[in-house]
Amino acid sequence: MKENLQKYVDERGQGGLDVGKSVELFRRYAYMEQSCVRALAGWFLKIPDWEMKIELGYHLYAHAERVNELGTRLEELRGGRHRDANIEPGLARIGEELIHAPDEQCFLAGLSWMLHNLADIYREHTLVADSSANALEIRILLRLLSDVEREAESVKKLQLKLQDSEGAAQWSAYLDELLQEIGGIGGLSSRNARQIVRPEKAIFEWPTPMIFDSRIREADLGSYESKLSLPLKERSIGEFQVYFNEFYAAALLATIIYDSWKLDAPRQYFMDIAHHFWDEVRHAEFGAIRLRELGTEPSIVNMVLFEQSQGIPLLHRLCYLTLGLEVYFMPRKSVRVRFYEQQGDPRSQLFADVDWSDESNHVRYGKRWVDYMLKDDARSIEDLQEEITKYLEAYANNSSAGKVPW
């Protein structure tokens, strides 16, 4: 959709975009990108194909990076703060609706539609901006444009994996009508007021449990100790099944990301939890890659640690994962790295080494943001952990060992 940025520039006679308009546009771009983060968090749990889950996890992090880059520039521009307080209700409606696609075909169609609209306005913005006055915005948007175009190609391929759906075209058309009603993402095109009919069954609900296709079954992964005496190949298979099961941690973080949609927190908070989520997605991918290299297809998961975390508050979920589970499993990380080095298995060592480094960051993320959220709270981290213990004790299958990790 033509956004008419050129007309705006021509009418003002400045040859570029003034600070006020640059701020308004960047706010709108950041809101749309953040809407995609939220929607991808939800559909990460709901789309059955695990390879697709991994790819969507990469896309979620890409959107989070773009939100962060847009937000960084907004904080530098006069009047650029308080994005959500300045968002037009019609634009907010599109952001809210994106997740409510009736099925996975509709969701991917809606995501594809959003990506093409973002690419169009990023491209148009760079063309009408002044090369000197708007130089920073141009540099940012050129990077974002390239990233969005790559994602659009990826989503197009994902769509080809699914059957065509008449509902997908209807869903995209519905979103497009909402966009036309507000004059495009930039809000500068002609506005078409009309009675817009919302598609039926357009309501997102968290799946319980996390959905996988028929290739994946729920099963016990065995204890950590039971794998230590196995021959190298069998031990590697057992341990990389555990890596594949990092889907549970990614799923837990997806709920935190979703519930943080309107949270009043620093920009870095959203970046850190998206980074943590992406790391756990990559760890699941580590498992899939190495299992296949060892001649075994990924086939089992155990989502009990995710499932028992549902129904507890966002802060408690964050504390449980980062200052509970991550800390509890940390001593195993260095042992794995040394074992694979001693056994002359550099491929497994690579994945174990990167995992160890990532998980150390996750504990730091957790300490930073749990402390931040407890800043004006009478409770300590220890108090929070006691509350989490009570929540988990109410869950029938607390853990295979029946213990809370602190």
Q: How does pLDDT run across 232-268, given as a tens digit for each residue?
A: 999 999 999 999 999 999 999 999 999 998 898 999 9
Give the span between the Cα atoms of 143 and 70, in whole angstroms.
11
Q: Is 75 exposed, middle or buried (0-12, 13-18, 19+ CB in 10 A)?
A: exposed
- pLDDT of 399 over the 90 cut: no
Give the span between the Cα atoms of 335 and 352, in whole angstroms.
9
Cα pseudo-dihedral 18, 22, 23, 27, rounded to 10: 160
Q: How does pLDDT run across 342-393, given as a tens digit for each residue?
A: 999 999 999 999 999 999 999 999 999 999 999 999 999 999 999 999 898 8
Give the span between the Cα atoms of 380 and 212, in whole angstroms.
38
Give the span between the Cα atoms of 221 and 263, in whole angstroms.
36
Categorize the per-residue pLDDT at 401 as very low, low, confident or very high, splitting at 50, 70 and 90: very low
Give the span between the Cα atoms of 349 and 327, in whole angstroms.
21
Lowest mean pLDDT among 7-21, 124-138, 190-204: 190-204
pLDDT of residue 404: 56
Q: How does pLDDT run across 174-189, given as a tens digit for each residue?
A: 999 999 999 999 999 8
- Mean pLDDT, the chain, integer: 93
Q: What angle do CA 294, 298, 301 make, to 5 degrees?
A: 135
Phi, then psi, of 102 in degrees rounded to 5? -65, -30
Instruction: Find tokens 């075994």 and name the residue.
Output: 296
In angstroms, how far is the first alpha carbon of the chain from the final one? Answer: 54
Ordered domains of the chain (ranges, CATH): 5-181 (1.20.1260.10), 217-393 (1.20.1260.10)
Q: What is the mean pLDDT of residues 333-345?
A: 97
In the chain, pLDDT over 90 holds for what percent of residues?
84
pLDDT of residue 2: 73
pLDDT of residue 23: 95
